[in-house]
Structure 1
Amino acid sequence: MTPPPNTVSRAALLVEGSDEAFRAMVDDLTHFASRLQQIREALARQMGVTAPQYAVLMALARRPPNTPVGVKDLASRLRVSVPFIVTETKKLEALGFVSKRPVADDRRKIDIVLTDKGSRAIEAIGDRQRAVNDVLFSSLNVTKFSALRTIASELLNSCDRAFELAEK
């Protein structure tokens, strides 16, 4: 039986002409991403929200206190659509975690801010987040952490083009 063709052609990604190590790395990344999503879902459940709502809350929490953020900016930061943010923030508003304010100089736009309840929920999950992240990334030292940040950013930047190629 003929072995399947290599899944990559770049020499830097082949070991002695084989893509076996590359495929193993992709499998590891895929499993890591899946487990990371499961972890985020578990943390979200602790807060009484969904994983996408958790992502919205965390993005808002990392802003300076009481600093509003526009729907478009939030969508861009989370790499999702504006309608998605509108839908999720409506749900978060109904739960009392965020409030929406019209932008003073453009009443068509809305800013989103954490409410006191939203801030308290984020504070309440903080110890668990720290414990989870400390375990999840326990294998990283300063050098590995810096390298991983760079590599993750670079890989993320190539995703859109790769997706376009996959969709053709």
Structure 2
Amino acid sequence: MPTSHYLSPVGIEDLFLYRVARLHATAGAPVVRICEGGHGVTRREWRLLLVLAQYGAMSSSDLAQAAQLEWGLVSKTLGRLQTKGLVSRTPKPNDRRRVLIALTEKGTLVYQQVFPKVIDINRTLLTVLSDSQLEQLDTILSLLQQRADDPAWLDDLPKSQRRLGGRN
């Protein structure tokens, strides 16, 4: 197996996750400008709107899982989205203790206005890659996601103590 600077990092620029985070922050900045400047929604709010537009109404716990966010963050964000009139909370007919979260008409309009612009940003970013490179990127991202989704590689790491108020 070839050894690269990613497998034997000596500095922050050699850390794969750092590079991905930096790319996300830099390339995502125009999306933030469109969302916040043009529509008054944060990046996290946009993520929830996007998931709801893609998958339809769902419970807040399902939304947290689909958006890959902690439930507490989703709960706070949903409160802001509801205050802005972008989502609604409707009790489930067979279980009034549970609610379904859905986009409102206003939330759907924001999605319809922002999503094409996000597609343009996505397209512009990816135009530096050839068709074969895009296929390779898709394969690589799928492989990395499969590895990240496999909990076995985390077995030797300490568990998070956030619920107990600690960080280690």
Q: TM-score w.r.t. structure 1 length?
A: 0.74
Q: SS state of the match for residue 2, structure 2?
A: helix
Match of 2:87 in 1: 98
Q: How far did residue 122 of structure 1 move?
A: 1.3
Q: How far did residue 38 of structure 1 move?
A: 2.4
Quick check: 1:129 aligned with 2:121?
Answer: no
Q: How far did residue 80 of structure 1 move?
A: 1.4
**One-letter code of the match for 1:114?**
L
Q: TM-score w.r.t. structure 2 length?
A: 0.74
Match of 2:4 in 1: 14
Distance 1:90 1:138 in 2: 38
Report how many aligned residue pairs link the two structures.
154
Contact 1:13–1:19 (CA<8 Å) still a contact in 2? no
Match of 1:32 in 2: 23
Any gaps of 5 or more consecutive residues in structure 2?
161-167
Match of 2:57 in 1: 68
Alpha-carbon distance change, 127 to 81 in structure 1, aligned in 2, over 3 angstroms:
closer
What is the identity percentage for the equivalent residue pairs of Structure 1 and Structure 2?
A: 21
Any gaps of 5 or more consecutive residues in structure 1?
1-10
Distance 2:115 2:72 in 1: 29
Q: SS state of the match for residue 100, structure 1?
A: strand
Alpha-carbon distance change, 127 to 68 in structure 1, aligned in 2, over 3 angstroms:
closer
Quick check: 1:42 aligned with 2:59?
Answer: no
Q: CA RMSD in A?
A: 3.2
Contact 2:31–2:118 (CA<8 Å) still a contact in 1? no
Alpha-carbon distance change, 147 to 165 in structure 1, aligned in 2, over 3 angstroms:
farther
Q: How far did residue 144 of structure 1 move?
A: 2.8
Q: How far did residue 139 of structure 1 move?
A: 2.3
Q: How far did residue 104 of structure 1 move?
A: 1.5
